Chain A
Amino acid sequence: MTLLKVENLHVQFTTPFGIVRALRGIDFELDKGDIMGLVGETGCGKSVTGRSIMRLLDENAEVTEGRIIFNKTDLLRLSEREMHAIRGDRIAMIFQDPATALNPLFTIGGQINDVLRAHSPAPAAQRRKATLELLASVGLPDPAQMMDVYPHQLSGGQQQRAMIALSLAAEPEVIIADEPTTALDVTIQAQILDLLRTLQRERAISVILITHDLGIVAETCQKVAVLYAGRVVEQGAVAAIFAGPQHPYSRGLLAALPRPGSRGTDLKVIPGNVPSGLERIDGCAFAPRCEFVMERCHRLQPPLFSLAAEHQAACLLHEDRVHG
């Protein structure tokens, strides 16, 4: 069942250098209970997409087109007040750097308690019990003691766990995790990803996992959307896409990764650079770097073609394979 649907989302930023088109028509769907990866390199628009859903874009940003449908309502049409009731409450966000996302002046327990109080009118004793349960459920050691510690007294991994507990307090349906483990060590990253998987399994929470790391997507997500220059170039089931990427960009990305046994060989390289959002792009944004480029690619912006039940790619190479 589709819980959240992003349709043809366009976002642009007004900067001193001109208008930067960060998103140029993003389409994807998040099913209930899934972990969906948004993956891409710097500047592909993955974080902007997350912030657009939360309506947390900077002042110089503007959504020029598109819809974000969540439970039949278009989030982009809600008043700031109506959005406030959704943000944090039904869609929560966790960030790359938990140290700056947690309030340094209040204890972890106090911050969770505040969210619980705003969320439901339960008596204090019950809220305390709920806070303890939340802290335990994210795997923080000694929850009773964690009630009274301040964010700076925790390690990075513990801070991220606390941040997740905080985002769970309002029992959201969707969590948007923006590079939640990028600032953490590998063994700690494994812990946090394991926690996300557990939460998804046990609480049926849907997660949008924004990351640059294809390995994280492979190990954590059911679905994935690969972004390039503000558009989805390929999406579908993780198993299908990693087994047989159909867009030349996703194929190039996967081939560029060093893997066990790759020593002594040259890594595959995608020539050229990512286009800046300032340039006007008429056809496929990847065309200038693509090894299979055709003349039409420079003129036609390819839509997402369905290749299988759960696999779509935006590449003219697959034009003739469209069904339906």
Chain B
Amino acid sequence: MAEPLLKVRDLSLTYWRRTGLFGRGSQAIQALNDVSFELNAGETLGIVGESGCGKSTLARCLLRLLRPSNGSIQFDGVDLLALNADDMRQMRQRMQIVLQNPFASLNPRLKGFDLIAEPLRTHAAMTRETMKDRVAALLTEVGLSLDFMNRHPHQLSGGQAQRIALARALALNPAFVILDEPTSALDVSVQAQIINLLIRLQRQRRLTYLFITHDLSVIQHISDRIAVMYLGKIVEETSSEEVFAHPQHPYTQALLSSTPAPDPKSDRQRIILAGTVPSALNPPPGCSFHPRCPQVMDRCRTLRPELRWTSADHRVSCHLFDALE
């Protein structure tokens, strides 16, 4: 089998927050904790989790918008964290991100043409004519007419704005695109359009996606594999089908059961977790999910579970599966 496009090893990020009068003390916030995964070219890895689980921080570390404190990121055989600023700038052509709210991620002062042309201007020397052709081709590819070149973001609907953001991300023909909640700000009918478009683009351009969301129904539709994150760690990772058929981690099970299904007849049992996600400032000892876990055992309170393979394509970090070793 070919080498994975993206190899992430033991990625950790610790923020230090100054505390106390005059900021003398400091507290560690573990935003990411030993995150490891691999992603094959042309595949989609879904990352799902609630706010504060570290999924967006992970995306920003992969693009080196944030500096991880530990670990390594291999992209197409290149160690991203070892690149100097100029080489990293070059590398950015091959990896792009689409953010959640297109109205926030598009500069309100720029028109469609300038928004889509910006990556071209940054990385490629070309005449205005060539640039116009490229922008026109990109607009067509994302399903917009050419007069969108002259529109400001505030003249667009949410779906149209997200298409512009997509065209911009695709302008440099990247191999890898991070999609950070790209449909969360959109209405259901528009969400469906964007998801269909994303899948079509992936097939046509052989793109590799990292799809971040809190919405399990969206993620299962688009992902080959799914990683569930909780408090800065991957707690479970397996194929999309397997997550829904045989969720192993109690948190994954609760997440699945909490996601409202548009089916009033479903008699599935609801698991309603108590309490809220603890602060990353004071993560609980042992398994960080133990205070909310319906199946908590004694050792969960003191012993941190490792992320272990329970079958050929299923990893889980939970003491319930210790016996399988």
Chain A interfacial positions (CB closer than 8 Å to B) = 41-42, 141, 155-158, 185-191, 193-194, 212-220, 238-239, 242-243, 252-254, 256-260, 262-263, 266-270, 273
Q: Given A258-B218, A263-B222, are A214 and B262 neighbors across the interface (CB < 8 Å)? A: yes
- Select the stretch in B87-95, B169-177, B264-272 that faces chain A: B264-272
A263 to B157, alpha carbons, bound, how many Å?
A: 27
**B162 interfacial contact with A, CB 8 Å:** no
A187 to B277, alpha carbons, bound, how many Å?
A: 9
A interface, over-half SS: helix
Chain B interfacial positions (CB closer than 8 Å to A) = 50-51, 157-158, 187-189, 191-193, 195-196, 199, 214, 216-218, 220-223, 240-241, 244, 254-255, 257-266, 270, 272-277
A266 to B188, alpha carbons, bound, how many Å?
A: 14
Q: Given A155-B276, A185-B50, are A239 and B265 neighbors across the interface (CB < 8 Å)? A: yes
Contact A187 B254 (CB under 8 A): yes
A156 to B223, alpha carbons, bound, how many Å?
A: 30
Contact A270 B189 (CB under 8 A): yes
Contact B221 A262 (CB under 8 A): yes
Apart from A188-B276, A267-B196, what are 8 other A-B pairs with CB-CB below 8 Å? A187-B50, A194-B270, A215-B261, A242-B265, A243-B264, A258-B218, A266-B199, A273-B157
Q: A258 to chain B: which residues have CB within 8 Å?
A: 192, 195, 217-218, 220-222
Which residue of the partner chain A has the closest CB to B189?
A: A270
A188 to B193, alpha carbons, bound, how many Å?
A: 28
Instruction: Tell me the smallest distance from the CB of B294 to a CB of chain A, in Å.
Output: 12
The interface centre, meaning the residue of B51, B216, B221, B244 with most chain A CB atoms within 10 A of its CB, is B221
Instruction: Tell me the smallest distance from the CB of B107 to a CB of chain A, in Å.
Output: 23
Q: A218 to chain B: which residues have CB within 8 Å?
A: 260-264, 266
Contact A260 B244 (CB under 8 A): yes
Contact A239 B264 (CB under 8 A): yes
A141 to B266, alpha carbons, bound, how many Å?
A: 31
Which residue of the partner chain A has the closest CB to B217?
A: A258
The interface centre, meaning the residue of A187, A213, A268 with most chain B CB atoms within 10 A of its CB, is A187
Instruction: Tell me the smallest distance from the CB of A36 to a CB of chain B, in Å.
Output: 14
Contact B214 A185 (CB under 8 A): yes
Which residue of the partner chain B has the closest CB to A139?
A: B274
Q: A260 to chain B: which residues have CB within 8 Å?
A: 217, 220, 244
Q: A155 to chain B: which residues have CB within 8 Å?
A: 276
Q: B264 to chain A: which residues have CB within 8 Å?
A: 218-219, 238-239, 242-243
Selected from A254, A256, A263, the residue in CB contact (under 8 A) with B191 is A256
Contact B217 A212 (CB under 8 A): no
A215 to B196, alpha carbons, bound, how many Å?
A: 21
Contact B188 A41 (CB under 8 A): yes
Which residue of the partner chain A has the closest CB to B50?
A: A185
Q: A220 to chain B: which residues have CB within 8 Å?
A: 260
Selected from B158, B244, B258, the residue in CB contact (under 8 A) with A189 is B258
Instruction: Tell me the smallest distance from the CB of A25 to a CB of chain B, in Å.
Output: 22
A306 to B226, alpha carbons, bound, how many Å?
A: 44
Q: B221 to chain A: which residues have CB within 8 Å?
A: 258-259, 262-263, 267
Which residue of the partner chain B has the closest CB to A191?
A: B272
Contact A41 B262 (CB under 8 A): no
Contact B260 A216 (CB under 8 A): yes
Q: Given A190-B258, A242-B263, are A253 and B189 neighbors across the interface (CB < 8 Å)? A: yes
Instruction: Tell me the smallest distance from the CB of A209 to a CB of chain B, in Å.
Output: 12
Which residue of the partner chain B has the closest CB to A276?
A: B157
Q: A186 to chain B: which residues have CB within 8 Å?
A: 50, 214, 216, 255, 258-259
A213 to B259, alpha carbons, bound, how many Å?
A: 11
Selected from B217, B218, B272, the residue in CB contact (under 8 A) with A190 is B272
Which residue of the partner chain B has the closest CB to A195?
A: B272
Contact B192 A268 (CB under 8 A): yes
Contact A267 B277 (CB under 8 A): no
Contact A215 B244 (CB under 8 A): no
The interface centre, meaning the residue of B196, B223, B264 with most chain A CB atoms within 10 A of its CB, is B264
Q: A41 to chain B: which residues have CB within 8 Å?
A: 187-189
A40 to B230, alpha carbons, bound, how many Å?
A: 32
A269 to B275, alpha carbons, bound, how many Å?
A: 38
